[in-house]
Amino acid sequence: MTASANGIEMARIAAIAADSKSGEDLVALDVSEPLPLVDIFLLVTGRNERNVAAIADEVEEKLLEAGHKRLRREGRQESRWVLLDFGDLVVHVFHEQERVYYGLERLWKDCPVVPLELPAPASAD
C-alpha cells in the first residue's frame, strides 16, 4: 500500500505552509503500510515555541482553505510538539529538543520518504 494522491497533495500544501514560516528539516514519511488509517506523517522543526505555533497555525489555515477537515489538534498551548490530524495526513511540528528526544524518524525508519517539492528561496539580489 502506498500513500494516496490526496495524502500527497495535503503533504505538499502543508510543507509549503510550514516552509513559509521557516519550518526546518521537513520530512514526509509514507506510513500507509503500518497505519491503515493514515497515509503520511509530515515532520517539521521550529526553532522556539513561538515559531512552532506559527508553523502549526499556518499549516492548519492552508489545509482548511484547501477544503480539508481537521480531525484533531494537540499541543498548541505549550507549542513544544503540535500534532495536527487531517485524516490522510498527520503533521507533527516539533520544537528542536522534542524532535531529537522523541525521534519519530527512528521509530518509522522503515517507511519510505515522500519527496517534497518546496519553492526555491527568493534570491537576495
114 three-state secondary structure: strand
pLDDT value at residue 1: 61
Task: For 78, list phi and psi in degrees, rounded to 5.
Answer: -85, -30
Whether the full predicted model's pTM is greater than 0.75, yes or no, is: yes
CATH number of 5-114: 3.30.460.10
Query: Which residue has 518546496 as its cell numbers?
Result: 118
pLDDT in tens, 44-86: 999 999 999 999 999 999 999 999 999 999 998 999 999 999 9
Domain boundaries defined on the chain: 5-114
Closest C-alpha to 25, from 107, 123, 113, 112 = 113
Contact status, residue 60 vs residue 73, Cβ threshold 8 Å: yes
Pairing of strands 40-46, 24-30: antiparallel
Taking the C-alpha atoms of residue 11 and residue 8, their distance in angstroms, rounded to an integer, is 5
